[in-house]
Structure formats: structure tokens, C-alpha cells
Amino acid sequence: MEESFSDIEKKVDLFLKQFDIEHHKVHDTIYCFEENEMSEIISLLHNCKLPKKYHSYKDVLQDKLFHSLELEKNDLVLCSDGIIYIKLFFQIESPEETPERRACGLSPEVLETYKQQFFPNDSHKEKIFALHHSVVEDILSFRKITPMEFKKVFIPVLINIVEIVVIMYSDLEDLRTIRGMTLYLLREVFDDLMLFIAEDILFNFSNEDRKAIEFLNFFSINETIDAHGKRHKPNPILDESNHAWNMTTIRSTMIQHKKSKQALYDKKNSLISIKKKLDTQKIEQNELSKQMLSTEKEIEGKITNIHKTLQKLQESDAEEVTFVENGEEKLFNSKLLMAKMFKKEDELFNQRTKTQRTIKELEHAIANKQRESIMWEKKYTESKEIIATIEANGHPIDKQFERIQRALAKTLTRR
């Protein structure tokens, strides 16, 4: 019988009460451990029906860890690729009215030196985006929070994930330096992080996800009234030209954008099929050539061997000779063996005649394969050029989609 959530909740609370969190402390502001450290309660959560407010076991863990560890609102609990991070947000007073105010008093030169030391070749970007994917699926998901809630939490969340990367992959210890480095790296990737969030919302909106539609409907060009009767001023999605995008235009653009991407996807699949066809043609052509040469060589070899045997028999005066037949050495009458060899020679000549006809057929087949290969080579080249042109220039609707994406990303950051 399936346990009720309330029963499992008690077990989860007890487990967390006994869980030695200090054992997993990697920094004054970070705890980090593999999910399998909590496999006992994760397994229980997997096997029970969760209340509607929880989307998955991760939500339960986040909620319970926040309560058991008495975390603050800007702290972070993140499950990412089998790892659980608990990040404590800390405050740093920035020096006032200095050029370095945005980096906690550290100069760009110092921060760039740290970046080159700890994150050569922009290695921080991949690490940040690995965490960001989990954040977008979970903490900043349009399915879990409203646009108003998003605006309140997204900055501390992004600071926290970049800070995890800075702390985990550098030997910086001073909190002011860590925060300065975090803000320096975050400014580099901020636009891309927000564009990724916007793309995720728009993609799901184009798939008619109810939550994505609700989320975007908040950004209306008209005054709106929410489910609680509260009025909201117009909060349009404005692009760089101050053009407001309404839901109808966004939906139309997304449908066209989706179709263009599907068309490109289909062309790429077609290109893969053509490449496979070409490879198959080449293999078949090579096999036919090998078969032709092998068959001809085998018969000519047998005829040569018979001629050698006949020559030896004609030069010999012996009435009986030894001869290997079917791998076994036997004694044969010379005249009878010679007659046998002549008969075998005739059979091989007939076989060679048939083989030569077969070879001509194979040559014809190879010629057809070559013509077919030329046709497929042409198709492959043409398809490759079409795809390259599309990817280089983009579909006309792509630019409109990108304008909407940038506009939504910008709108999401507007307080």
C-alpha cells in the first residue's frame, strides 16, 4: 500500500534532522553533496503522490532544506545533475561613488587577472550555464513563479549560481573579492542568461503551454485584473525601438519561427539521409568491384594450375602419377588424369565465359552505381549549400523572433 505524503513527510523531516550538513560544507557560504546522500528520502518521495504545490521531489527537498536549515529568502537550494547545492547569500557593502563600485571596489584589471588565472578560455561560461539550465527548469521556472515573483528573485538567484562557480573553481577566500569576481563574470554572461530564460518561455508559449501563456499574459499593453481582483498597470513587452509586442503578434511570430526551424530540421535530416545513401552507394560499388576482380582472378588461377598439370603430364613418361585432389594425395593413371584435366579445363573455360558475361553485367551495374552516386553527390552538395545559406542568413522571421526574445529578456529585468 502506498504511503501517504504526510507519513513520508515525517520521515523526511526526521532524516533531515539527523543529516550532518556540516560534513558537506565546502565554504562558509556553500554546502554541496551528491543526491545519493539523500537516496533514502528521494526514493520515498518518488513513490508517493505529491501535493499539487510540489512539481517534483526537488521542490520538496528545497522546501524542507529551507525550513530545516532556517535559510533566508535570498539563499539558494539547487539540484543540478545529481548534485545538491545549498548557497547562502551574503551582503557586501560597496564603496560609494567610485568607478569600481559595481565590483565591490576591485579594479577591472585585477578582476580580469583573476579571470584569466581561474577561468582561462572563458571556461566559466560553460560552468555557469550548466547550473543555469537547472535554475530555469526549477527555481526560475514560469510554471512555478509569477512574473512579479520572478522580478524579486532572479538577481539573487543569478548571483548565487555564478558565486557557486567562483567559489568552487577558484581559491579566492575574501568575500568582497568573491562578490566582486561574481559580479564581473555575471555582467559578461547576463544578457545570454536572460535570453535563454526568454527563449524557454517563448518556446513553451509556442507549444501552447498553459503556464507559459499565463506568464506572458501578465505583460499586457492594457490594464489587467488578476484572479484576486487586483488591478495591474500596462506592462508591455517593449523592444529596443520601444515597440510593444502583444500576444497575437508574438503567437503569430512563434508559429512561423517554429515552422522555419522545423523546415531547417527536416532539411538537415534529409542531408543525413543523402549522406547515408552516398556512403551505401560507395560501399556497394566497392563490393561489386571486389567481387568482379575476385571471381575473375579465381578462375584464371584454376586454369593456370590445370595448364601446369597438363604440361607436366605431357612431359612425363610415367604411366602413373600422384596428384592432390580435394586436399588428399592420390595415385592416378597418367592418361586418365590428363583426360580428367582436359575435361576440367573445358568446364573452366565455360565458367570463364559465363563469368565474363557476369563481369560485363557487374561493370554495367558499377556504371549505374557511379551515375547514381554522381546524382546523390550533386543533391548532397546542393542541400549542404542551401542549409549553409539558411544558417548564415537566417530565415526572415528569425530577426523578428530575436527582437521579441530580446524584448522579453529586457522586460523581465525591468523592476
What tens digit of pLDDT does each residue of 45-69 get? 988 899 999 999 999 999 999 999 9
Asked whether the predicted pLDDT for residue 231 surpasses 90, the reply is: no
pLDDT value of position 327: 63
pLDDT value of position 308: 75
Asked whether the predicted pLDDT for residue 129 surpasses 90, the reply is: yes
| Displacement of CA 410 from its chain's centroid (Å) | 27
How far, in Å, CA of 366 to CA of 290, rounded? 11
191: which residues sit within 8 A by CB, 6+ positions away?
Answer: 409
How far, in Å, CA of 122 to CA of 181, rounded? 14
Asked whether the predicted pLDDT for residue 263 surpasses 90, the reply is: no
Name the percent of the chain lying above pLDDT 90: 49
Least confident of 152-166, 192-206, 267-281: 267-281
Compute the average pLDDT of residues 271-277.
Answer: 81
| Residue 87, helix vs strand vs coil | strand
pLDDT value of position 264: 82
Name the percent of the chain lying above pLDDT 70: 89
pLDDT value of position 371: 78
Answer whether 332's CB lies under 8 Å from 322's CB: yes
Residues of the chain with CATH 1.10.287: 252-404
Compute the average pLDDT of residues 86-108.
Answer: 77
Kindly report the backbone phi and psi dihedral angles of residue 3, in degrees, each rounded to the nearest multiple of 5, phi listed first: -70, 150
Most trustworthy range by pLDDT among 98-112, 184-198, 212-226, 242-256:
184-198
Cell numbers 509569477: residue: 146
pLDDT, tens only, 277-335 = 778 877 877 777 777 667 777 777 777 777 776 677 676 766 676 666 666 666 767 77
- The model's pTM is 0.74
Asked whether the predicted pLDDT for residue 275 surpasses 90, the reply is: no
What's the grid cell of residue 94? 560597496
Confidence of residue 121 (pLDDT cuts 50, 70, 90): very high
Pairing status of strand 244-245 against strand 30-34: unpaired
280 versus 252: the higher-pLDDT residue is: 252
Answer whether 409's CB lies under 8 Å from 191's CB: yes
133 versus 357: the higher-pLDDT residue is: 133
| Residue 47, helix vs strand vs coil | coil
pLDDT value of position 171: 94
Asked whether the predicted pLDDT for residue 97 surpasses 60, the reply is: no
pLDDT value of position 349: 73
pLDDT, tens only, 371-389 = 777 777 787 788 788 778 8
How far, in Å, CA of 38 to CA of 84, rounded? 10
Pure H helices in 119-229: 123-137, 147-168, 175-206, 210-217
| Displacement of CA 324 from its chain's centroid (Å) | 64
Confidence of residue 337 (pLDDT cuts 50, 70, 90): low
Confidence of residue 28 (pLDDT cuts 50, 70, 90): very high
Answer whether 76's CB lies under 8 Å from 67's CB: no
What's the grid cell of residue 254? 512563434
Asked whether the predicted pLDDT for residue 78 surpasses 60, the reply is: yes
Domain 252-404: state its class.
mainly alpha
